[in-house]
Amino acid sequence: MSIEKRLQEKAVELLSEKKVDVVVGYEAGTLPYQAAPCFIENPDDEGRLVLNPFCSVNLAKYVHDILMAHKASQKRMKPEQRTKKVVGVVARGCTTRSLVIHLQERQYERDQIFIIGVPCRGYVSKKKLAAAAGGKEITACAIINDRLSFTTPDGTKEIPLESVLAESCLSCRYNNPVISDVMVGDPAPPMKPDSEYADVDAFEAMSGEERWNYFAEEMKKCIRCYACRNTCPSCYCKVCFVEQSQPRWVGVSVDESDTQAFQIMRLFHMAGRCVDCGSCVDVCPMGVDLRKFLKKLDKDGYNLFAHRAGEKMEQQPPLSVHSMDDKDEFIYEP
Amino acid sequence: MADNKAQENWQPKIVAFVCNWCTYAGADLAGISRIQYPPNVRLVRLPCSGRVNPFYVVKALQEGADGVLVSGCHPGECHYITGNLSARRKFAMLKSFLSYLGIEPDRTIFTWVSASEGEKFAHVIRGVTEKIKALGPAKKLVKSYE
Ligand code: SF4
Ligand code: SF4
């Protein structure tokens, strides 16, 4: 039985036994190389669920959204009328790590989520696929084992699937769930985590001027649409600093420094909290190289505090804890 | 600010975020002991170094500071027990991150000065001012109001 079929059966079982109120998963998107998030409340809708390498977005974001909306809706209820909502979620490695971060940050209780763990062998980067198709419109797309074939007005072409997988996936360390209530499918073989910081190492080897020029050039592309923030499971503040007006943290002028300051702060908020799911990179309409900067925070978090975001429930986020013996080489004249 | 930078005899502007209980008192001690130190530093007093939002540092740089100093009580001596320890973690990552982006490491400096260290306060300000003078006016991340 295919993993998709098993997933659908699991969803029916959970919904009909009322173990969950909704299952958050993926359904086929409107384009042949796309999958969209979907919310199944009725067991008869299970057929919509899909699971394939086009499922890109990190679903933890939606789990948080649903539970927060529910919490808000309960506020004005009499205590005896309050209900509990349980969200089932189809979760691969990065999604489960985001859920761990939510739990560590006390966003909701463990029994409010039901994690349907699935293995992951990487998702297709839409930008890489578009480049492979030379920017032509893709009218059909299919994956057979580790090959991907797509059809454009120029004809059909077959390429290795790996050549269009997202960067985050190629060096992913956690492509199997770190926590789950039930697993569907067999564990996926490991990716290549040893090369996860290759990009950061190469960037560090450049001069300060070169690095700043690269950063400034990348940020010139940014149109401040905030799609990266909207999709990020770790960006869940009720009022984001970019929209606060008292004080107004970041300006919205055309001056380049405003966008740079916005990006520095959004990136820095991810210190110890970015799971490298690549969702922000995937949704960015301008192709800003966010990962180069996010991965540095991840590397520092590991080197300084032996911490990897969302890896273990017991390990608190690095900036939530401290110790007398923390490294302090950076302190001037201690 | 722009005029200042155009001038031959440019003087750096340094913003120092200091905690109320140690470094600010240390600066006070330097003052009442009449210890001389360069007038380039502007002190901003906060309850604790742990109160310093990393964004203050970024914002100061954006608004034209040539350097930013953050200083609090020595580890183990925080008025709020561990505020400076969480500050230390935050700023270990912040300094490394800003340097990674290409902002000169000497533009952001972190240190500890206790209430009894008037001489150390003056010494730190001298050292920091020298470092920033050596770098010259900040050009990265600076907002232009022209
Ligand atoms: S910053 Fe990007 S890669 Fe990191 S958790 Fe958020 S969406 Fe995922
Ligand atoms: S998604 Fe891309 S363009 Fe939009 S705000 Fe984020 S980095 Fe900028």
Can you give the pLDDT of all 146 residues of chain B as single tens digits?
555 555 678 999 999 999 999 999 999 999 999 999 999 999 999 999 999 999 999 999 999 999 999 999 999 999 999 999 999 999 999 999 999 999 999 999 999 999 999 999 999 999 999 999 999 999 999 998 87
Q: Do B54 and A212 touch (CB under 8 A)?
A: no
Q: Which domain holds residue B121?
A: 11-46+53-134
Nearest to A257 among B62, B96, B128 (CB): B62
Please provide the average confidence, as pLDDT, over all residues in chain A: 94
Q: Do A326 and B89 touch (CB under 8 A)?
A: yes
pLDDT value for B4? 54
Nearest to A211 among B88, B102, B144 (CB): B102
Contacts of B123 in chain A (CB under 8 A): 333
Amino acid symbol at A238: K
d(CA A235, CA A1): 37
Residues of chain A with pLDDT under 70: none
User: Which residues 102-141 on chain A approach chain B with CB closer than 8 angstroms?
Assistant: none
What is the pTM for the complete model shown?
Answer: 0.93
Nearest chain B Cα to A251, which residue? B143
pLDDT value for A145? 85
User: How far A333 CA sits from the closest chain B CA (Å)?
Assistant: 7
Q: What is the CATH number of the domain that holds B77?
A: 3.40.50
Amino acid symbol at A221: K
Structural domain includes residue B146: no
Nearest chain B Cα to A320, which residue? B86
How do residues A6-59 score in pLDDT, each as one tens digit? Answer: 999 999 999 999 999 999 999 999 999 999 999 999 999 888 999 999 999 999
> Ligand 2: distance of its center to the CA of A290 in Å?
9
pLDDT value for B22? 94
B41-46 sheet: strands from edge to edge: B41-46, B14-19, B67-72, B108-112
Q: Does A247 touch chain B (CB under 8 A)?
A: no
This model of the complex carries an ipTM of 0.93
Closest CA to A280 of A230, A243, A238: A230
Q: Does B76 touch chain A (CB under 8 A)?
A: yes
Please list every protein residue whose CB sits less than 6 Å from any atom of ligand 2.
A 222-228, 283-286, 288, 290
pLDDT value for B6? 58
pLDDT value for A247? 85
Nearest CA to ligand 1 atom 6: A232
> Ligand 2: distance of its center to the CA of A221 in Å?
8
Q: Does B120 touch chain A (CB under 8 A)?
A: yes
Written as one string, the DSSP assignment of A215-255 is: HHHHHHH-----HHHHH-TT---SS-TTT--TT--S--SS-
> Ligand 2: distance of its center to the CA of A228 in Å?
5
pLDDT value for B3? 53
> Ligand 2: distance of its center to the CA of A277 in Å?
16
d(CA B131, CA B68): 11
So where are chain A's domains?
Answer: 3-122+172-183, 126-164, 197-332
In a 13 Å sphere around the CA of A263, the CA atoms on its Cβ side amount to 29
Q: Do A331 and B110 touch (CB under 8 A)?
A: yes
pLDDT value for B7? 63
Structural domain includes residue B144: no
User: How far A136 CA sits from the closest chain B CA (Å)?
Assistant: 35
- Most B CBs within 10 Å, among A206, A303, A322, to test the B interface: A322
User: What DSSP designation does A161 have?
Assistant: G
- The total domain count for chain B is 1
Dihedral sign for Cα atoms in the order B28, B29, B31, B35: negative
pLDDT value for A334? 81
Q: Does B93 touch chain A (CB under 8 A)?
A: yes
How do residues A106-116 score in pLDDT, each as one tens digit? Answer: 999 999 999 99
Taking a C-beta distance cutoff of 8 angstroms, is the pair B141, B58 a contact? yes
Which own/partner pairs from A4-9 qualify as long-range (CB within 8 Å, at least 24 positions apart)?
A4/A49, A4/A50, A4/A51, A4/A52, A6/A184, A6/A185, A7/A49, A7/A51, A7/A90, A7/A116, A7/A118, A7/A184, A7/A185, A8/A46, A8/A47, A8/A49, A9/A46
